[in-house]
Amino acid sequence: MKFRVQDAATAASGDPAQVQGLPWANNRFVYQFSESLSRNPVKTAAFISACHELLQSTALRCVDRAQVPDDRDYVRVVEQGGNFSFVGRQGGEQLLSISSWNNRFKIMHEIKHALGWQHEHQQPRRDEYVEVLFDNIPEAYRQHFYINSNANEGEYDFDSIMHFYPTDLAVTGKKSLQARAGFEAFQDRMGQRSRLSDIDVEEIRAYYGEPGVAWCGINKKPEKAPADGCEWLCQQADDPAMSDWVMQPMCASERH
């Protein structure tokens, strides 16, 4: 079961189950600000700057939907009383809410959710590194600690901006996460939002590609050159349901 991800301060609202999203296609992560946010240059600049910093060494670009108005899939950046995002590309408009405008790493955290990443402590390797103290976590919040692999995770990273703080969503005075033996030195590093770790960027780059690599979803541009006068383009099937993108040749004779 996949959930829209809300971070610890706002997770209590009880999100409905959601479909796990797809990767972003055409080398672009497309965003659009809500009408109220579009009138706030400080907040819009904070989001754009955080997005570019997160993706600067990857194949993805942060693109305002005004530049690609025909793109069906995009995040609508809103301010709805907390930090939350769907995980991955959902198809059509999807919400991404920011309340922590003064911390660019918290903004990056939500963008990385939208790119397809769960929280770090939900990745398959986590039980080797941390123990989830379920007895200290109210039942309503336990869904935020279940393993949820998206097959895009790198090495386990205590320093990731995607890691929970050790007491997130635990009952008052208790811990929800405990570093296992041999990793005690990392206990107080969990949950930091003051820097990007190397792995935070490396796993995006590994999944989406290096700058200049053409992608359709997670399918690399074919190495074989198309016929003379043709080029590879990302195209999406005429399917009202969410579908992945495919590479297809487009030739001069077919262009309008």
Q: Return d(Cα 119, Cα 92) in angstroms, integer.
A: 23
For residue 135, what are the contacts with CB-CB under 8 A and spacing of at least 6? none
- Encode burial over 7-29: b for 16+ CB neighbours within 10 A, e otherwise: bbeebeeebeebeebbbbbbbbb
Q: Return d(Cα 92, Cα 239) in angstroms, integer.
A: 12
Q: Return d(Cα 198, Cα 89) in angstroms, integer.
A: 24
What type of residue is 164? F
Give the bridge partners for 182, in sequence order.
none
Q: Return d(Cα 154, Cα 197) in angstroms, integer.
A: 12
Backbone phi, then psi, for 53, in 5-degree steps?
A: -65, -40
Give the bridge partners for 251, in sequence order.
230
Report the SS3 class of residue 42.
helix
Active-site choice (35, 79, 93, 110):
110
Q: Is 110 a catalytic residue?
A: yes
> Annotated catalytic sites, by residue?
110
